[in-house]
Amino acid sequence: MPALTPSRRRAAALVGSLTSLALGATLLTTSPAATAAPEKPADDTYRGQVQVVPGKDAKARVLRGSVFVDADRDSVKDPGEKGIAGVAVSNGRKVVTTDRQGNYKLPVDDNTTVFVTQPAGYQVPVDEANVAQFHYNHMPAGSPKLKYGGMKPTGLLPKAVNFGMVTSQATATTEQECIIGGDIQTYKKVEADYAAKGAFKDLNARTGYDGCGALFIGDIVGDDLSLYPGIRELTKRLNGPARFLPGNHDMDYDAKSRAHVYDTYRANFGPTYHSYDVGRVHVVSLDTVDYPVPGKSYNGALGSKQIEWLKQDLSRVPKNKLVVVAGHIPLLTFADQGSEQHQIDEVKQVYKLLKGRKAVAVSGHTHSIENMRKGDSMAGWQDIFGVAGLPFAHITSGAISGDWYTGRMLEGGFPMAVQRDGGLPGVVTLDVKGNRYTERFTVRGDKGADQMQLGLNTPAYRDWYRKNKPATGKPKPGTWLTTNFFMGSTGSKVTVSIDGRRAQKATRTQPMTGEGQYVGAEYSDPAAAQEQLVHGGSVADRSMHLWRQGLPTDLEVGKHTATVRATDAHGRTSSEKITIEVTE
């Protein structure tokens, strides 16, 4: 077949000029044009904190308090301010509900975080960084000596801890936008600047998520916990409340026991697991990292205490609600389907607790985008965990940091950071109506139009790939047009039309029907891999959302246009074009 040279129609293409590498491919890259954020309305945000009434009884072991409507928004339970009945409050194992007056009581020990589950129709306060305030840490003596400080002594058990809320139409409405942001993972201050110019600038320009807010699902920083204040500066840009859960890079690694491994995280962001309600959605945020673990750096697990809390938490949730189960390490994942460490030991217990419910799992950790649907199956899940197929959808959100802020710098002020699956950095949004949702991915620096990238997988490319990343196996013949459909999944359809000819259905490279991973040059995203092998970072040598279509062998010398249409499982269609030049 004659030589082929692709070129892209749009600016979001990957891969700079690589003609010197004799790949026969030139793809031009420019960064998206900057757009000014819309002017914000007057700030009516409910700012405040949890009311802690000092105690004097050194022998007290039962915490009492109230959940109340903070009518004057002063974070103090004043006479006449009504309590809220039926609200869940927990000490991390036991869950109780407030009585008719909004009162509760819970046993505590000297290392307890007490937290409230925000009901739909109410909003807990946020602090000056927009971080939701719904908990109280009790550690009378403070943390043992830790490099990053841990928790300061809290003193005697308070006489009362009162959780103020205000009524909220934003959390009452059954239509919600829930932002899921994975792995901000800053290792140094300059990387917080990259995040500020990327995903957080995008979120600052967006509205509509003031009810559900943004949930950042772990690896908030990269081991250096002194960078937490910089993350709080980022959340000041949000137009809704920020909530967090921890990842394996958010730990006090010098802690001697599991009891104190998240002390610095808790001091900055709150409980390591919790829940909240908006509309007809119940969000459960889990701590999925077990550390320290003999013989491992860490492990994906929940532990018996958290499982007991989850059981009690879900027992109070009506069966007609959508349950969003969030964790840093995925319950199950495509990227690490053969690894016990990077998936959750108690996955079958979680499935049992959610049986009969509408549910979706969201996670981060893998620095890749995954949209796995009910029934999807991988060999590793069956072999390691005995799971033959997913009982509900699992979404891995990708990372705000992308591939750890690697690659060449773009005009927007951040690095390319192409991820392990070939996807670009960004955030996932769950658009919820009632107890149903649709998922969408927004690439950093884009308003949502950028849903795929196209490339050519040619023999010349595969030869070059093997020289730069040696691989075993006999290379396959042929040339394919590849489509990396970021939110592509089982039920998606990709078609290719060359020069207006009848569209042909492309083939998904990873069908998710019980096989193992397909890895190597033939299963790679050429656009991403060329970018990565030239400018650094991981290599997109596998993906569960890559489609390919063989090109006709009768293309004449000259330029040809391929039109690709990608339709997701919800029937939403995106299209892109690529120009292919055939030479002698």
Which residues lie closer than 8 Å to 250 by C-beta, 6 or more apart? 218, 219, 220, 221, 225, 262, 265
Distance (Å, whole) CA 271 – CA 156: 20
The secondary structure of residue 292, as a DSSP letter, is S
Per the DSSP assignment, residues forming a β-bridge with 357 are: none
Per the DSSP assignment, residues forming a β-bridge with 7 are: 579
Give pairs for 294-301: CB < 8 Å, separation 24+: 296/341, 297/248, 298/248, 298/251, 298/341, 299/340, 299/341, 299/345, 300/329, 300/330, 300/340, 300/341, 300/342, 300/343, 300/344, 300/345, 301/344, 301/345, 301/346
Burial of residue 40 (CB within 10 Å: 0-12, 13-18, 19+) is exposed
The per-residue pLDDT string of the chain (584 residues; one tens digit each, 9 = 90 and over) reads 344 444 433 323 333 223 222 233 323 222 333 333 434 444 689 999 999 999 999 999 999 999 999 999 999 999 999 999 999 999 999 999 999 999 999 999 999 999 999 999 999 999 999 999 999 999 999 999 999 999 999 999 999 999 999 999 999 999 999 999 999 999 999 999 999 999 999 999 999 999 999 999 999 999 999 999 999 999 999 999 999 999 999 999 999 999 999 999 999 999 999 999 999 999 999 999 999 988 889 999 999 999 999 999 999 999 999 999 999 999 999 999 999 999 999 999 999 999 999 999 999 999 999 999 999 999 999 999 999 999 999 999 999 999 999 999 999 999 999 999 999 999 999 999 999 999 999 999 998 899 999 999 999 999 999 999 876 666 677 899 999 999 999 999 999 999 999 999 999 999 999 999 999 999 999 999 999 999 999 999 999 999 999 998 888 999 999 999 999 999 999 999 999 988 87
Distance (Å, whole) CA 134 – CA 181: 20
For 507-538, letters b (16+ CB in 10 Å) and e give: ebbbebeeeebbebbbbbbbbbbbbbbbbebb
Phi first, then psi: give them for residue 438, nearest 5 degrees: -125, 145
Distance (Å, whole) CA 509 – CA 504: 16
Q: Which of 370, 422, 443, 400 shows the shortest CA–CA distance to 214?
A: 400
Distance (Å, whole) CA 347 – CA 214: 25
Distance (Å, whole) CA 444 – CA 559: 31
Alpha carbon separation from 484 to 239, 408, 421 (Å, rounded): 31, 21, 9
Q: What is the DSSP string of 38-67?
A: PPPPP----B---EEE----TT--EEEEEE
**Residue 21 burial (CB count, 10 A):** 16
For residue 553, the model assigns a pLDDT of 85
Which residues lie closer than 8 Å to 91 by C-beta, 6 or more apart? 63, 106, 107, 108, 112, 113, 114
Distance (Å, whole) CA 335 – CA 371: 11
Instruction: Spell out where 155-288 has E strands.
Output: 160-167, 175-181, 214-217, 242-245, 274-278, 281-285
The 3 state secondary structure assigned to 298-322 is CEECCCHHHHHHHHHHHHCCCCCCE
Q: Which of 500, 476, 512, 490 shows the shortest CA–CA distance to 567?
A: 490
Which residues lie closer than 8 Å to 29 by C-beta, 6 or more apart? 11, 13, 14, 15, 16, 410
Q: Return the H-helix or E-strand segment holding 563.
A: strand 558-567
Q: Return the H-helix or E-strand segment holding 323.
A: strand 322-327
The identity of residue 385, as a single letter, is F
Which residues lie closer than 8 Å to 107 by C-beta, 6 or more apart? 61, 62, 63, 91, 94
Alpha carbon separation from 204 to 39, 56, 200, 259, 422 (Å, rounded): 10, 44, 6, 36, 26
Handedness of CA 457, 579, 533, 1 (dihedral sign): positive
Distance (Å, whole) CA 60 – CA 160: 11
Distance (Å, whole) CA 49 – CA 51: 6
**How many CA atoms does the CB half-sphere of 296 hold within 13 Å?**
14
The identity of residue 164, as a single letter, is G
Assigned token pair, 62 = 């039962």
Domain boundaries, the chain: 135-443, 452-582
The secondary structure of residue 382, as a DSSP letter, is I
Phi first, then psi: give them for residue 122, nearest 5 degrees: -130, 160
Q: Which of 400, 452, 406, 458 shows the shortest CA–CA distance to 425?
A: 400
The identity of residue 213, as a single letter, is G
Q: Which of 250, 213, 198, 267 shows the shortest CA–CA distance to 45?
A: 213
Q: Which CATH architecture has domain 135-443?
A: 4-Layer Sandwich (3.60)
Instruction: Write the CATH number of the domain with boundaries 452-582.
Output: 2.60.40.10
**Residue 479 burial (CB count, 10 A):** 21
Q: Which of 487, 482, 483, 414 shows the shortest CA–CA distance to 445?
A: 414
For residue 43, the model assigns a pLDDT of 64
Which residues lie closer than 8 Å to 199 by C-beta, 6 or more apart? 181, 400, 425, 426, 427, 444
